[in-house]
């Protein structure tokens, strides 16, 4: 986080006309930055030379807190890492602790986790695609997306009592079993929701103005996506079929049938903003598929394994990954055998997506910067932690 | 390629700079001497059979008891779908590591974070500044002997417990 804007004014004289580089400030409070973050934009007229991200405004030292509150006590804090999609953060932390201590989660617990995580993914992707529309000037689709997201919040509230910061999972399983009638209500929601994805596509995804604003904008080729460690839909938008749920299987995901959609450059170039957007739209359908299978096949039994209240995993290091809504989220946890984690490092999808913007912004229009942020689905608290 | 073969190639190329044993796991851990990390990284990235094209994570750990700071590099290959963790230790009073930001551009920010929170200095890093903490912050918060300052620009960091009110 830096306070000073370094102003270096370049003077050029192409054809005798003198122009200056303009330094613009975007943020930290800006409706399109999806949280508190700031860009220093060096622009030549309407074209950006580069946009320099300045992060740290939402740094809450979550990793330091982990060292103070112990393994069980850290669970509610993981909700705040990515509050748009908190379930998978819960799961990442729980899985890291289980890997350290060698705990087996009961099958019903794993099913509850998958159901919770996939509903979380639906909610997160809905917010993302809705906000993409809003950021480039289409407000109506946002209201549609948020309407459905409210129903998902209701479903998750039934599950754990909270609508955003869930604190649902525990080391060894889940805090609560699904309530009576949950499966019926969740299935009814899916029956209603799935046709709405097509309606949503008709409303905006194939709209000419919308396509023009996203296609061929901020193209990320395959090699660039890998070198910058882009993950999740951003990586798959560049045509790389990699999903932690498939490629490093965890939980009960291997039991479900689902596809991993990738970008194809259908309206422009492979790896453009439109590809990343469409990957999210298609993942909505895949999440519904997983949910139907999980809701239909939920086994009997306990949802949580017996875990000592005074949880002291043996000394060691683990690096666990989950497929969060913003992609491969890495949890590096070091234990020294005491009741407090020795070191926790959370490597999130938005961190890489934020880092790539400086490179990506070269030569883009200023107005496209918000489209790029939206298409990379950056959530500021996940960058800063 | 399995980790035994990766390790054998590393030993052939770098001999004793790479530790003789591998700690098995999802990310097999290989100990490397700190000054050679960038060279080992270049070898791992550029050898077509290894092709570690992605730096998945870079984390620092303050090992106060050993008076060292460990830096962990979690590397993976999208081409061959194998993964490995390198770990290098550097003396705690003056932690210095070679940068790998020229190999994997994401290392630029990850190293800045490691510098910011743990005070590891990465030589030849193009832009080694604080990234998460304010730039006038004193100290490195994830060091085990870090003492939280009483105030920051007149804002107190001390607060009465709500339970006592």
Longest dimension (CA), chain B: 66
- What residues of chain A lie within 8 A of the CB of B106, using their CB? 227-229, 352, 355
Report angle CA A84, A284, A140 to the nearest 5 degrees: 70
pTM: 0.87
DSSP assignment of A134-187, as one string?
HHTT--HHHHHHHHHHHHHHHHHHHHHS-SSS---EETTEESSPPPTTHHHHHH
| A261 confidence band (pLDDT: 50, 70, 90) | very high
Q: How far apart are CA B26 and CA A93, in angstroms?
A: 17
Which region, left, alpha or beta, applies to residue B67 given φ > 0 means left and ψ of -120 to 50 means alpha? left
- Is A383 among the domain residues? no
Residues above pLDDT 70, as percent of chain A: 94
A226 reaches B (C-beta below 8 A): yes
A328 reaches B (C-beta below 8 A): yes
- What residues of chain B lie within 8 A of the CB of A55, using their CB? 131-132
Cα-Cα end-to-end distance for chain B: 62
Flag whether pLDDT at A13 surpasses 70.
no
Give the pLDDT mean for A41-67. Answer: 87
At A8 the pLDDT is 46
- Buried b / exposed e across A200-217, counting CB within 10 Å, b at 16+? bbebbbeeeebbebbbeb
Q: Do B142 and A351 touch (CB under 8 A)?
A: no
Pair type for strands A316-324 and B83-91: unpaired
Are B7 and B30 in contact, with CB atoms under 8 Å apart?
Answer: yes
- Is A277 among the domain residues? yes
| A215 confidence band (pLDDT: 50, 70, 90) | confident
Q: Do B85 and A319 touch (CB under 8 A)?
A: yes
Q: How far apart are CA A308 and CA A300, in angstroms?
A: 23
pLDDT (tens digit per residue) in A138-195: 888 888 889 999 999 999 999 888 888 889 999 988 988 899 989 999 999 999 999 9
Instruction: Report how many domains make up chain A.
Output: 1
Answer with the residue of higher pLDDT: A367 or A330.
A330
- What residues of chain B lie within 8 A of the CB of A351, using their CB? 109
Task: Give the dihedral sign, CA A203/A205/A206/A210.
Answer: positive
At A3 the pLDDT is 47
Least confident range from A7-11, A59-63, A336-340, A381-385: namely: A7-11
Q: How far apart are CA A218 and CA A277, in angstroms?
A: 12
- Is A35 among the domain residues? no
Flag whether pLDDT at A5 surpasses 50.
no
Q: Do A343 and B81 touch (CB under 8 A)?
A: no
- What residues of chain B lie within 8 A of the CB of A1, using their CB? 130-135
Percentage helix, strand, coil for chain B under 3-state DSSP, each rounded to 5: 25, 30, 45
From A230's Cα to the closest Cα of chain B, the distance in A is 9
- What residues of chain B lie within 8 A of the CB of A359, using their CB? 105
* Structural domain for A134, as ranges: 62-359
At A6 the pLDDT is 47
Which domains does chain B possess? Answer: 3-140 (3.30.460.80)
* CB nearest A330 (choices: B56, B62, B133): B56
pLDDT (tens digit per residue) in A92-151: 999 999 999 889 999 999 999 999 999 999 999 999 888 888 888 888 888 888 999 999
* CB nearest A229 (choices: B55, B85, B134): B55
- Is A86 among the domain residues? yes
Pair type for strands B121-123 and B96-98: parallel
Looking up residue A154, the CATH number of its domain turns out to be 1.10.645.10
pLDDT (tens digit per residue) in B2-50: 888 888 888 888 887 777 788 888 888 998 988 888 988 999 888 888 8
Report angle CA A146, A94, A103 to the nearest 5 degrees: 145
Q: Nearest residue of A to residue B106 by CA position?
A: A228
At A32 the pLDDT is 63
Mean pLDDT of chain A: 87
Long-range contacts from B39-44, C-beta under 8 angstroms, 24+ separation:
B39/B14, B40/B10, B40/B14, B40/B86, B41/B73, B41/B75, B41/B86, B41/B100, B41/B103, B41/B104, B42/B103, B43/B10, B43/B13, B43/B14, B44/B6, B44/B10, B44/B75, B44/B84
B24 reaches A (C-beta below 8 A): no
Closest of A261, A241, A222, A210 to residue A374, by C-alpha? A210
- What residues of chain A lie within 8 A of the CB of B118, using their CB? none
| B55 confidence band (pLDDT: 50, 70, 90) | very high
* CB nearest B132 (choices: A55, A321, A342): A55
Which B residues in the span 80-119 are in contact with A, Cβ-Cβ below 8 Å?
Answer: 81, 85, 104-106, 108-110, 117
- Is A16 among the domain residues? no
Q: How far apart are CA A25 and CA A355, in angstroms?
A: 18
Residues 6+ apart with CB under 8 A from B105: A227, A228, A355, A359
Q: Nearest residue of B to residue A53 by CA position?
A: B131
Q: Do A332 and B59 touch (CB under 8 A)?
A: yes
| B61 confidence band (pLDDT: 50, 70, 90) | very high
| B91 confidence band (pLDDT: 50, 70, 90) | very high
* CB nearest B135 (choices: A1, A63, A384): A1
DSSP assignment of A291-312, as one string?
HHHHHHTPPPS-SB----SS--
């Amino acid at each position: 986080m830096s306070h000073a804007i370094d102003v270096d004014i370049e003077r050029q004289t192409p054809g005798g006309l003198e122009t200056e580089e303009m330094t613009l400030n975007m943020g930290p409070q800006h409706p399109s930055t999806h949280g508190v973050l700031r860009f220093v934009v060096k622009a030549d007229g309407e074209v950006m030379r580069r946009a320099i991200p300045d992060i740290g405004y939402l740094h809450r030292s979550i990793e330091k807190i982990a060292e103070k509150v112990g393994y069980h006590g850290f669970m509610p804090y993981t909700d705040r890492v990515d509050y748009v999609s908190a379930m998978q953060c819960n799961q990442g932390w729980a899985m890291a602790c289980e890997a350290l201590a060698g705990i087996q989660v009961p099958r019903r617990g794993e099913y509850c986790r998958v159901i919770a995580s996939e509903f979380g993914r639906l909610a997160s992707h809905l917010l993302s695609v809705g906000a993409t529309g809003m950021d480039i000037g289409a407000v109506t689709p946002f209201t549609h997306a948020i309407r459905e997201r409210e129903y998902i919040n209701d479903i998750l509230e039934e599950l754990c009592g909270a609508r955003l910061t869930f604190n649902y999972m525990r080391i060894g399983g889940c805090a609560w079993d699904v309530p009576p009638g949950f499966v019926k209500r969740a299935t009814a929601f899916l029956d209603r929701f799935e046709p709405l994805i097509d309606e949503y596509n008709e409303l905006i995804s194939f709209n000419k103005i919308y396509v023009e604003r996203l296609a061929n904008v901020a193209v990320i080729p395959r090699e660039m996506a890998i070198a910058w460690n882009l993950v999740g839909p951003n990586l798959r938008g560049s045509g790389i079929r990699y999903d932690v749920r498939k490629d490093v299987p965890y939980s009960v995901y291997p039991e479900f049938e689902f596809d991993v959609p990738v970008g194809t450059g259908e309206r422009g170039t492979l790896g453009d903003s439109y590809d990343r957007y469409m990957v999210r739209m298609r993942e909505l359908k895949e999440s519904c598929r997983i949910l139907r299978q999980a809701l239909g096949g939920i086994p009997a039994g306990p949802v949580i394994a017996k875990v000592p209240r005074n949880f002291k995993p043996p000394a060691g290091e683990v690096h666990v990954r989950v497929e969060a809504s913003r992609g491969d989220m890495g949890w590096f946890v070091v234990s020294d055998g005491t009741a407090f984690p020795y070191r926790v490092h959370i490597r999130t999808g938005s961190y890489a997506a934020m880092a790539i913007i400086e490179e990506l912004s070269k030569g883009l229009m200023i107005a496209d910067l918000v489209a790029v942020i939206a298409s990379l689905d950056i959530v500021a608290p996940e960058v800063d932690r | 390629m399995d980790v035994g073969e990766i390790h054998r190639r590393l030993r052939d190329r770098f001999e004793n700079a790479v530790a003789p044993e591998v700690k098995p796991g999802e990310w097999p851990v290989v100990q490397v001497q700190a000054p050679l990390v960038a060279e080992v990284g270049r070898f791992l990235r550029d050898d077509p059979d290894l092709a570690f094209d992605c730096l998945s994570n870079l984390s620092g750990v303050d090992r106060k008891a050993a008076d060292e700071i460990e830096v962990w590099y979690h590397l993976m290959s999208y081409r061959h779908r194998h993964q490995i963790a390198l770990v290098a230790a550097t003396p705690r009073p003056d932690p210095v590591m070679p940068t790998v930001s020229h190999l994997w551009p994401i290392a630029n920010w990850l190293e800045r974070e490691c510098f910011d929170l743990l005070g590891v200095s990465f030589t030849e890093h193009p832009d080694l500044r604080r990234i998460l903490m304010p730039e006038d912050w004193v100290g490195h918060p994830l060091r085990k002997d870090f003492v939280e300052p009483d105030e920051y620009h007149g804002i107190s960091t001390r607060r009465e417990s709500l339970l006592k009110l």
